[in-house]
Amino acid sequence: MSEPRKLEVLRAIVEDYVHSREPVGSKALVERHHLGVSSATIRNDMALLEEEGLIAAPHTSAGRIPTDKGYRLFVDRISEVKPLSAAERRAIHSLLEGPDDVEDILERTVRLLSQLTNQVAVVQYPHLSRARVRHIEFVLLAPRQVLVVLIADSGKVEQGVVHAAADATDEELTALRARFLGSIAGSQLDLMPQVLPSVVALCPPALRNLAGALAHGLQRLADRSRDERMVMAGTANLARSNVDFPLSIGPVLEALEEQVVMLRLLSDMAEDPRGVTVSIGRENPYDGLSEASVVATGYGPGSSAKIGILGPTRMDYPNTMAAVRAVARYLSRILGG
């Protein structure tokens, strides 16, 4: 038996199965792909592949379907990331034009990616730890309620409400704002824990309580940009692509709703030299996703934030990987990463 042909057979099985959603048998294979051998030979190869755990038969007299391991081999060694079609390129270019504050861009990007791939698309907000403080604002909502706004030079705005122990006045807030801004403007968000306490310490005693509360609020905002958020689109694709095929979509929806789960999942995916990382079926650390695959990659400064898609293990990996990669690249360019 020849090793190259065995791989060729695996490739054929994966491609046919992804396309037809049905177990594929030896005879159908030789017909659709012009491997120069007979079905009996293929059968031998398939037996070998099965022994190696790359494909499996749902029941005795059915065709074979790829296992997680099979997909893995396919992705790693066989498939080539196909270039996008011209139409797809055009879609990317045209859909990402328009107002460019971060939220808008991410929202449009994720929608685009879900349409290109017919899967659920997910994107992390860019990391802000390296971002710097551009501006802060304290706004008195009520005598003891202060709205704190933190503006980073990345263009991201965070906001939160702080409760003061005693009544505060506009004058006090203006003074404190000047103090804080003087110390932290231009410094990195992840250095805040070092800088903020000293600002509080230098305040006149009368203001110290209020300053402490505000510092705490600012810290929370800085943290919030670290424990990131995400945007997603295309959940309806889950239902569509699985009509009459049961990737039970419940657990997947649950995972998607637990943003923490998704964020960890994305963060934990190693960066792959080839540009996109794939996590297949039971490789996923989350149980509910044991029949799903994640295709993701980094974007932006240092590729620290991730963008990707989530779909059934039986998906068109080459095209999906191409789309994810292309969109991520384009996104990086726009965001100036």
Applying CB under 8 A, which residues contact a second copy? 99-101, 103-104, 134-135, 137, 139, 141, 147, 149, 151, 153, 155, 157, 159-161, 220, 233-236, 238-240, 243, 248-250, 253-254, 256-257
By CB under 7 A, name the one of 64, 72, 127, 325 that touches DNA: 64
Cβ partners under 8 Å of residue 33, min gap 6: 8, 12
By CB under 7 A, name the one of 5, 21, 82, 224 that touches DNA: 5
* CB 112, CB 248: distance < 8 Å: no
Residue 234 binds: one of a second copy, DNA, none (C-beta under 5 to 8 A by kind): a second copy
77 vs 163, which CB is nearer to a second copy? 163
Residue 59 binds: one of DNA, a second copy, none (C-beta under 5 to 8 A by kind): DNA
Residue 64 binds: one of DNA, a second copy, none (C-beta under 5 to 8 A by kind): DNA
Query: What does the alpha-carbon distance between residue 223 and residue 225 come to, in Å, rounded to a whole number?
Result: 5
What is the closest distance, in whole angstroms, from the C-beta atom of residue 46 to a second copy in the complex? 35
Instruction: Name residue 309's amino acid.
Output: I
Residue 149 binds: one of a second copy, DNA, none (C-beta under 5 to 8 A by kind): a second copy
* CB 271, CB 306: distance < 8 Å: no
- For residue 122, the SS3 value is strand
What is the closest distance, in whole angstroms, from the C-beta atom of residue 29 to DNA in the complex? 8
- For residue 303, the SS3 value is helix
5 vs 69, which CB is nearer to DNA? 5
- Angle of helix 205-226 relative to helix 170-184, nearest 10 degrees, comes to 60
Distances from the Cα of 81 to the Cα of 245, 296, 304, angstroms:
26, 14, 22
By CB under 7 A, name the one of 8, 21, 32, 37 that touches DNA: 37
Q: Is 56 in the site for DNA (CB under 7 A)?
A: no
Query: What does the alpha-carbon distance between residue 312 and residue 292 come to, in Å, rounded to a whole number?
Result: 4
Q: Nearest Cα to 213, choosing from 138, 151, 133?
A: 138
What is the closest distance, in whole angstroms, from the C-beta atom of residue 273 to a second copy in the complex? 33
By CB under 7 A, name the one of 4, 34, 60, 205 that touches DNA: 60
Residue 25 binds: one of DNA, a second copy, none (C-beta under 5 to 8 A by kind): DNA
Q: Nearest Cα to 167, choosing from 205, 206, 199?
A: 206
Residue 157 binds: one of DNA, a second copy, none (C-beta under 5 to 8 A by kind): a second copy
Query: What does the alpha-carbon distance between residue 321 and residue 297 come to, in Å, rounded to a whole number?
Result: 9
Residue 240 binds: one of DNA, a second copy, none (C-beta under 5 to 8 A by kind): a second copy
Q: Is 28 in the site for DNA (CB under 7 A)?
A: yes
* CB 307, CB 328: distance < 8 Å: yes
